[in-house]
Amino acid sequence: MKVALDAMGGDNAPQINIVGAVEALRNLPKLGHLFLVGDEAVLRREAPALGLNLKDPRVSIVHAPEVIGMAEPGAKSVRRKKLSSISVAMDLVKDGKADAFVSAGNTGAAVAAATLKLRCLKGVDRAGIASPLPNEHGICNILDAGANPESKPEHLVAYAIMGSAYAKYVLGVKEPRVGLMSNGEEDEKGTAFTKETFKRLKATPGIHFIGNVEGHDLFETKLDIVLCDGFVGNIVLKSVEATAKAVSKWLKTEIKETPLRMAGALLAQGAFKALKAKSSYETYGGSPLLGVNGVVIIAHGSSTGLAVRNAIRVAVETVEHKINPRIEEAMAQLPQEAVAHLPSLE
């Protein structure tokens, strides 16, 4: 299993990526080789202090002198900076030298590079990011979480098929439950876009579509995939993250108000740690970009070393379970009347 890591991507690069690489090499026995893609001089300077043994035969540095900043426009930057760490790492996957790509860098650039260089799978028109959220019953994936802000109903139908395949074959869910994000659970609720999407999902075989869902269902209802366009999905994801951080901050402030509360918090320390682990993006590592002809994992921009390690783990698991052939198989098995509104399978 060979993974190309964008070593210059993220708010705290390259240090966090090197720390994540060390942890991945130490803890993931199925990781056969790790390509660190970035400025070679910088990586060689930083690696020893962070515990990365560059003499390890499982590690290679691939020089990429350019970096796409977090605030730069995605597609334009990929075309302009052909020697960026994102572009060079994606080329390793394109050329078959690596099995998967991992980056905590510019999401738009990663999506653009994957779409331009790897292309979409047969039958898929637009790729989508599946971002995990913990809920009462396990993991609920928001799809799309930001790859395609202006979706069409047919894109969400494809997301339902791809997300179901990912949940079933990679996450081990026997019968993935799919919901459509709307402003009410009733069938007639929503915009013209969601109403049309609802109608098409109801007519699509091979998925377990449970109907419209609302925001609270993300945490309370047994759901595996929640469908929405990338604009809505990204806002939902960032709002949830911001809320979790705010609640954590408020809780700490209130606990410090009295010695009795602090004593109680000390007794509940184990519960707090477990809750933090369950709710932290670090635990889940990264989000797969489903629909491209290669394995692409997008990590949080503020990733820590632990998050990078887990993003690499997600990459290894996704390759291992052969998700792309599963998606193509699922798309190909749809009857012609069900795919009349989807991109051509030819």
Same domain, 113 and 130: no
Q: Range of 251's domain?
A: 125-285
Domain end position, chosen among 285, 305, 332:
285
Q: From CA 300, how far away is CA 208, in angstroms rounded?
A: 29
Residues 45 and 136 in one domain: no
- Return contacts of 313-318, CB within 8 angstroms, 24+ apart: 313/24, 313/28, 313/285, 314/284, 314/285, 314/286, 314/288, 315/3, 315/99, 315/100, 315/101, 315/102, 315/286, 316/1, 316/3, 316/28, 316/30, 316/31, 316/100, 317/170, 318/100, 318/166, 318/170, 318/288
Same domain, 94 and 177: no
Give the contacts of 13 (CB within 8 A, at least 6 positions apart).
7, 38, 104, 105
For residue 162 the two structure tokens come to 């791809």
Q: Are residues 172 and 259 in the same domain?
A: yes
User: Which tokens is 10 given?
Assistant: 């993220």
pLDDT of residue 344: 41
Say if 343 falls within a structural domain.
no
Structure tokens at 248: 């954590």
* 147 in the same domain as 90: no
Same domain, 169 and 54: no
Dihedral, CA of residue 158, residue 163, residue 169 and residue 172, to nearest 10: -150
- Quick one: what percent of the chain has pLDDT higher than 90? 71
**Domain closes at, from 285, 311, 336:** 285
Total-model pTM: 0.89
264 and 299 share one domain:
no
Count of domains in the chain? 2
Looking at the structure, do residues 75 and 144 belong to the same domain, yes or no?
A: no
Same domain, 165 and 196: yes
Which CATH number fits the domain that encloses residue 222?
A: 3.40.718.10
The answer to whether residues 197 and 280 belong to one domain is yes
Distance CA 149, CA 101 (A): 22
Last residue of a domain, one of 238, 261, 285: 285
HSE at residue 238, side-chain half, CA atoms within 13 A, is 10
Same domain, 86 and 192: no
Kindly state the tokens that stand for 125. 């028109």
pLDDT, residue 341, reads 52
What pLDDT does residue 336 have? Answer: 56
Instruction: Say if 104 falls within a structural domain.
Output: yes
Tokens of 90: 């994606």
Cβ atoms 231, 155 nearer than 8 A: no
Any domain includes 61: yes
Q: Residue 227 domain-assigned?
A: yes
Question: What is the residue-level pLDDT of the chain in tens, covering all 346 positions?
Answer: 999 999 999 999 999 999 999 999 999 999 999 999 999 999 999 999 999 999 999 999 999 999 999 989 888 999 999 999 999 999 999 999 999 999 999 999 999 999 999 999 988 989 999 999 988 898 999 999 989 898 999 999 999 999 999 999 999 999 999 999 999 888 888 899 999 999 999 989 889 999 999 999 999 999 999 999 999 999 998 898 888 889 888 988 999 889 888 899 888 888 878 777 776 677 778 899 999 999 999 999 888 999 999 999 999 999 999 999 999 988 887 755 554 555 443 3
